[in-house]
Amino acid sequence: MTHAPDDPCAGATADAGLAAQPAAACGEVSMQTVRYAEDLAALYTVERAQRAELQAVNERLRAVIDSMADGMLTVDASGVAVTVNRAACAMLEHPWADVEGRPLAELLGVAGAAAVLPDPAGGGGGRGGVAGAMPPGGQGGGRLHEGGPDMDGTRVVELELPAPEGGARRVVRVATSPMRDGGRVLVLHDISMQRRVQHLKQDFLAIISHEMRTPLNGILGLGDVLLDEARRRGDADAEELLGHLLQAARRMHAMVREVVRFAEVQGGRVEAADAPVDVRRLLGGVREELSALAAAHGVVLGPTPLGVVPVTVRGNAALLREMFLHVMHNAIRFNRQGGMVTVRCQPPRGVAGDGDAFGDEGCAGREVQVEVADTGIGIGAQERERVFESFYQAQGYLTRNREGLGIGLTLARAIARLHGGEVTLASEVGRGTTVTVRLPASLERAGGEAGEFAAR
């Protein structure tokens, strides 16, 4: 058999095809690498632009924070200062480098840090309610007033910052909020000047009131002697004139006494006693005391809220009586002819006992709630909070048609807060006003008062 000779061209073509395959593969890999490099370069460019933008935003934010008149301070979960602005450095009287990295207890004092930072055992920092005044003397920061934490953990505390030796103490209001990482943001507002002005005003009121009370006592004493003499002589004209004189003097004496009490409470010169007080018994006494005033104004006082079990709070009975006296006095004075004042006392739910009208609908929290409602002239929405300002009446000082200094509700709220409570107001023009007093309830009963009061 004859074989055809091998084709040399066919072999060369096969060898060329085999050699071209790796070259094509290498070219494809190179192109892929170039595309990857281009993608990485694009990503880096975007990331660099985002970093630059983030840095610009941080710089703008830092500039805004540093330009704040209020101080701002952030602390980590362990209570160490992380960032601080210029205003906070000025308030703390430390340079920036000395603030960052220091424990908050060294900056605000041990008591101040305890009030601001949350309790590791759970709950808010320090104790809730109203805090005591700073003890005189020491160098540590002190807590003046503390509000309980909100649902989101935000709280507001007033503090006295530690002062350098011989320096004046600075008072700040600190609003603190939690951060996601367990740290907190503190905003410090300097209220030192407000406190100094307030103290000067209180001292002025106390001095003036004392100086007025002394001659008034003399006028009242001599007036009583002259009135007795006029009655002995049977001089009806002199008796009538002296009666008017004594009435005006007693009214002025009552106003001076009210201003003195206002200055004492606002200046922190009185303390809430720690004794059980039956609120219902107290309200009954206040109602009796104001019955003549209500009759003179043509106002009907609703029945005193009675109950089998006393509703008890802890505090100063004289101060609490004065608080309810101011609230009910206002309800009478700003009522209309033929109007009504209704008092409702709600104990904590389940504490009222059998036979109490409000036993099933008491307050949900551990507090006593007293509502004093009138059917009077009412207060406009824009003035509802202003009635708690000192010496303010809703009609304005030039158009007042009701007697009084305008400090009754201010004093009532101050006394309630002194006892860890609060006074709020709801009103509608032409339909009346309801003032609500809330006080922390006590499980302890006022000794020996339950049976006596229930029989009233």
Query: What are the pLDDT digits (tens) for 33-62?
Result: 878 887 888 888 888 888 888 888 877 877
**Residue 302, C-beta contacts closer than 8 angstroms, at least 6 positions apart:** 340, 341, 342, 343
Give Rg (Cα) of the chain: 37
Determine which of 72-86, 385-399, 414-428 has the lowest per-residue pLDDT on average.
Answer: 385-399
Residues 150 and 217 in one domain: no
Residues 89 and 186 in one domain: yes
| Mean per-residue pLDDT of the chain | 75
Query: Looking at the 3D structure of the chain, how many domains does it have?
Result: 4
The helix-helix angle for 236-266 and 192-233 (nearest 10°) equals 160
> Is residue 186 a contact partner of residue 176, using CB atoms and an 8 Å limit?
yes
Nearest to 184 by CA among 243, 238, 124: 124
Q: How confident is the model at residue 436 (pLDDT cuts 50, 70, 90)?
A: very high
In a domain, 3, yes or no: no
Residues 248 and 312 in one domain: no
Residues 325 and 249 in one domain: no
Residues 413 and 308 in one domain: yes
Residue that finishes a domain, picked among 190, 213, 228? 190
Residues 252 and 315 in one domain: no
Q: 261 or 189, which is more confident?
A: 189
Per DSSP, helices labelled H in 67-179 are 86-92, 96-99, 104-108, 110-116
Q: 365 or 87, which is more confident?
A: 87
Q: How confident is the model at residue 384 (pLDDT cuts 50, 70, 90)?
A: low
Q: How confident is the model at residue 267 (pLDDT cuts 50, 70, 90)?
A: low
Q: From CA 66, how far away is CA 90, in angstroms rounded?
A: 11
In a domain, 199, yes or no: yes
Residues 173 and 201 in one domain: no
Q: 139 or 4, which is more confident?
A: 4
Residues 329 and 296 in one domain: yes
Nearest to 163 by CA among 138, 193, 139, 191: 139
In a domain, 9, yes or no: no
Q: From CA 83, how far away is CA 104, in angstroms rounded?
A: 12
CATH of the domain at 372: 3.30.565.10
In a domain, 8, yes or no: no
pLDDT tens digit sequence for 419-434? 888 888 888 888 889 9
Residue that finishes a domain, picked among 162, 190, 218? 190
Residue that finishes a domain, picked among 140, 168, 190? 190
Please tell me the predicted confidence (pLDDT) of residue 38.
79
Supply the pTM of this predicted model.
Answer: 0.55
Please tell me the predicted confidence (pLDDT) of residue 333.
86
Report helix, strand or coil for 295. Answer: helix
- Give the domain range for residue 295: 275-454
Residues 295 and 431 in one domain: yes
Q: 312 or 14, which is more confident?
A: 312
Q: How confident is the model at residue 373 (pLDDT cuts 50, 70, 90)?
A: very high
Residues 397 and 298 in one domain: yes
